[in-house]
Amino acid sequence: MTPRQLALVLETSEEVSTPFYVYDTDLIRTTCRSFRNLPWPDTNIHFATMANPHPRFLSIIREEGLCLFVNSMAHLDAAFAAGCGPGEVVYAASAMDESTMEQAHRSGIRVILDSLGQVDAWRQRYPASPFGIRCNLGTMVHARRTRGGYFIGPESRLGLQPNEIRRLAGAPDIEGLHLYAGTDICDLDYFERCYRTLTAFAHFFPGLTYLDFGGGFGLEDSGGQPFDLGSYGRMLVHVMEGACSAAGRHLRMVIEPGRLIGGRAGLFVCRAVDIKPVGAQQGIGVNASSAQFPRPLLYPDSAFHPVWILRSGRVVSGAEVPSCVFGCSTYSRDFLSWNCRVPGVEPGDLVVFGNAGAYCAALYTRFLGFPPAAEVFS
Ligand SMILES: Cc1ncc(COP(=O)(O)O)c(C=O)c1O
């Protein structure tokens, strides 16, 4: 835990006695700026609101000059409330019904369609309105299973297969090609393979103006190295140069980072109440529920959050023991950490989870009856 993180937690815990998230606003801003410095000259960065739709979070993103990516009408409203104009919002979803399509069209945002059926429905209703298509890539790349499953390849339910994309070749109303390779990826070679495969379709579409490479940026690789945005930027320039020469015109680039923008900037904080053995582990019962910090509930095998214990204003050090952190409900799967190593904990200690700024507060569920945790921006 950094001295700044420690100070943020202690300051906030003086004011808030219930479980809370605290966000390091400066860190969110710094990350936004690194994305804005990516070297392709014509780039739009659209923060993926599903990672954290808190109004204050979105206003910070907007102050840093980012646009928004949304996948629901509620988040579209949030994007407009955060001051986005229609040209600053990308909307991609699947199985859009008539009313959703109508709202998306009326609002004038950029829409990405997910299937040939959705393309037909859009064209019938709005023949003069261009759109983007989500490209699955099929077997053109060896798709990877990432957190949450497959987002491309034969096992993925999302996007148009290569033969479907080819059937649309020559269509003048397709303005964008969209790809989302997967989530929590640090392997730049994998991104590059996927991106280059997408660009192979660029010359099919005479009305193409942009390529949207989606998000998927991991916080750190298995060796603990943070995502290498510098090398990523250099790779993008090569890919975009190739795409523009294949398409025979200049193309804009869009990306949709979610997790990496605020993931590290957030901490979740609760208090130890009851310590008891759980199997061979130190069981740490806290005054919070996984309903308030749900990633370990949804991704029990892969949600990794560092855990720190604070006592009397300091991080507790010393011999670590295998531990789990369990919530204050009766639900048998109410764990905030299934498996961690921390020193001996005492009732009253603060229990702090790192990497909690993305897909944490946003996943809150009313199941079990606990209120959403407070969210504080420092
Ligand atoms: C289409 C699309 N774009 C962007 C994102 C954000 O991705 P990440 O948080 O992995 O960067 C998602 C997340 O699922 C997505 O589905």
**Per-residue pLDDT of the chain in tens (378 residues, 90 and over written 9):** 999 999 999 999 999 999 999 999 999 999 999 999 999 999 999 999 999 999 999 999 999 999 999 999 999 999 999 999 999 999 999 999 999 999 999 999 999 999 999 999 999 999 999 999 999 998 899 888 877 788 988 889 999 999 999 999 999 999 999 999 999 999 999 999 999 999 999 999 999 999 999 999 999 998 889 999 999 999 999 999 999 999 999 999 999 999 999 999 999 999 999 999 999 999 999 999 999 999 999 988 888 899 999 999 999 999 999 999 999 999 999 999 999 999 999 999 999 999 999 999 999 999 999 999 999 999
Which residue, 262, 282, 305, sits at the end of a domain? 262
The CATH number covering residue 365 comes to 2.40.37.10
Query: Which atom of ligand 1 sits closest to the CA of residue 214?
Result: 3
CA of 50 to the centre of ligand 1 (A): 8
Specify the pLDDT at position 300: 87
Specify the pLDDT at position 301: 83
Query: Which atom of ligand 1 sits closest to the CA of residue 183?
Result: 10
Beta carbons of 350 and 13 less than 8 angstroms apart: yes
Specify the pLDDT at position 252: 98
| Helix, strand, or coil (residue 335) | strand
Which residue, 262, 288, 309, sits at the end of a domain? 262
CA of 307 to the centre of ligand 1 (A): 25
The protein residue with its alpha carbon nearest to ligand 1, atom 6, reads 258
Specify the pLDDT at position 222: 86
Query: Which atom of ligand 1 sits closest to the CA of residue 46?
Result: 4
Specify the pLDDT at position 132: 98
As a whole number of Å, the CA-based R_g of the chain is 22
| Helix, strand, or coil (residue 160) | strand
CA of 69 to the centre of ligand 1 (A): 9
Tokens at residue 174, please?
């397709």
CA of 182 to the centre of ligand 1 (A): 8
Q: Are residues 292 and 192 in the same domain?
A: no
Q: Are residues 184 and 234 in the same domain?
A: yes
Q: Are residues 332 and 366 in the same domain?
A: yes
Residue 373 DSSP code: P
Query: Which atom of ligand 1 sits closest to the CA of residue 359?
Result: 9
The protein residue with its alpha carbon nearest to ligand 1, atom 10, reads 216
Q: Are residues 14 and 107 in the same domain?
A: no
The CATH number covering residue 163 comes to 3.20.20.10
Q: Note down the domain range covering 241.
A: 25-262
Beta carbons of 217 and 251 less than 8 angstroms apart: no
Structural domains of the chain, count: 2
Q: Are residues 308 and 229 in the same domain?
A: no
The protein residue with its alpha carbon nearest to ligand 1, atom 16, reads 180
The protein residue with its alpha carbon nearest to ligand 1, atom 2, reads 214
Query: Which atom of ligand 1 sits closest to the CA of residue 51?
Result: 9
**Can you list the alpha helix ranges (DSSP code H) found in the chain?**
3-15, 25-36, 55-63, 73-81, 98-107, 116-125, 162-167, 188-199, 229-247, 259-262, 295-298
Q: Are residues 14 and 97 in the same domain?
A: no
Indicate the burial class of 154 (C-beta count within 10 angstroms; 0-12, 13-18, 19 or more).
exposed
Specify the pLDDT at position 144: 85
Ligand 1 site: residues with CB under 6 angstroms? 48, 50-51, 69, 92, 180, 183, 214-217, 256-259
Which residue, 197, 230, 262, sits at the end of a domain? 262
| Helix, strand, or coil (residue 111) | strand
